[in-house]
């Protein structure tokens, strides 16, 4: 099917778009909207092609970039949370700790004292 071939070729463009817009607090609905595919079709194909759900991919990207900012900048945790599009600092800290098993403050301290 032509549509199936197209979607696998458009994944690099979608991933690039996510990378460029990750700081805007994008959601899976924003990503689906730029593809022109139905939500269910795109989400299924994304998971098959990438190996994780779209929402998990976006969350992990945000957290990895946040960890880098904690290591290499002196931005406050609130500023990083805002920059990465988390709804609140509390949500950011909770999500960060769930993913890395360490709070953002501890992560920063450990990365500066290696």
pLDDT tens track for 9-36: 588 899 999 999 998 889 999 999 998 8
* Span 40-73, pLDDT tens digits: 999 999 999 999 999 999 999 999 999 999 999 9
Distance, in Å, from the CA atom of 69 to the CA atom of 107, rounded to the nearest integer, reads: 11
Joined together, the tokens standing for residue 84 give 């990465």
* DSSP letter assigned to residue 84: T
Instruction: Please report which residue ranges of 73-101 form alpha helices under DSSP H.
Output: 77-83, 89-100
pLDDT band (50, 70, 90) for residue 2: very low
pTM here is: 0.86
Task: Name the helix (H) or strand (E) containing 77.
Answer: helix 77-83
CATH code: domain 59-112 is 1.10.10.60
What's residue 1's pLDDT? 38
Q: If phi over 0 gives left and psi between -120 and 50 gives alpha, with beta otherwise, what is residue 58?
A: alpha
- Is the pLDDT reported for residue 77 higher than 50? yes
What's residue 36's pLDDT? 87
Q: Where are the domains of the chain?
A: 2-54, 59-112
- Is the pLDDT reported for residue 90 higher than 80? yes
């Amino acid at each position: 099917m032509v549509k199936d071939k197209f979607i696998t070729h458009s994944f690099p463009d979608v991933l690039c778009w996510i990378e460029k817009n990750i700081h805007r607090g994008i959601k899976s609905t924003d990503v689906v909207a730029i593809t022109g595919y139905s939500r269910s079709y795109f989400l299924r194909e994304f998971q098959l092609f990438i190996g994780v759900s779209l929402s998990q991919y976006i969350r992990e990207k945000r957290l990895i970039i946040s960890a880098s900012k904690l290591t290499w900048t002196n931005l406050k945790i609130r500023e990083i949370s805002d920059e990465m599009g988390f709804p609140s600092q509390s949500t950011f800290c909770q999500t960060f700790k769930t993913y890395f098993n360490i709070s953002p403050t501890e992560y920063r301290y450990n990365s500066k004292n290696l």
